[in-house]
Structure 1
């Protein structure tokens, strides 16, 4: 790879990183090309050199962060010894997030933006669907009945718990382990 290409990739990554910082800090609609460029240490024209539009950049940043997060969750599951331990691993992972931390806020902002942006909705749905396929297959390999449906319910429950945390409402996820374990017994 040429030095110019490597520099271009590095600038592009800085722009994506800046977007994943600014979205939770300011909210999706308050991120401008100017603030993004300032955070990344480039001129505004560079933003449009690397991305067709600001929404495309924000979408790519958010979807990439969500893909990374769900890949970590899938790896934790695959390393767990059985469904109960898999649920415990997911609950432990959920403990890293307060609901108001940058990652949680990024996901919440992305979900909200997806309600108004068909392309973003499709991209997020694709990431979630891939995770659900992996999770459902893993549950099936461990003898859980209706594995794909169970994966959907567990994933939606964990998403909901995280959203409730952001509101300062709801139960401690660890206290709900017994209920979630019954879904896989």
Structure 2
């Protein structure tokens, strides 16, 4: 079993490092000059014009929502890093540990929180006119995978919880 967990750990590290590099590259390519433009606008803006309806406010909203999307992608990567903790527990022979149950629940929560938050942010981005958004197309993309995966991790947590109870009962009968 040790060889399998070592291979899975190496694969998980590869996936994590790839995801982090893609996120950092996307952040590097993002137009952070919008923040400078917003600061310049704030100095010379017409104080009588309502801020919420100005074009610069829309640009600022786009900037803030994009930053939120970067945060949630980082949070998803963080959630994926729990696989390393699970593999470490399994490698130590603690299959049905409280930690594994907790990690499966955390991964499930992160996957579902990510999916809902990104759907809301993409909807808001479409509302300000900076992107196209079709709810059903978004669900067909990565989201069709993440919600069922999140639910599957909740199920795995429950299975591991029951496995731990059976293991404890088994130890008492010996």
Please indicate, yes or no, whether the TM-score normalized by the shorter chain is above 0.5. Answer: no
Say which one has the larger Rg. Answer: 2
Tell me the TM-score range normalised by the shorter chain: 0.3 to 0.5
TM (normalized to structure 1)?
0.31
Structure (1/2) with the larger helix percentage: 2
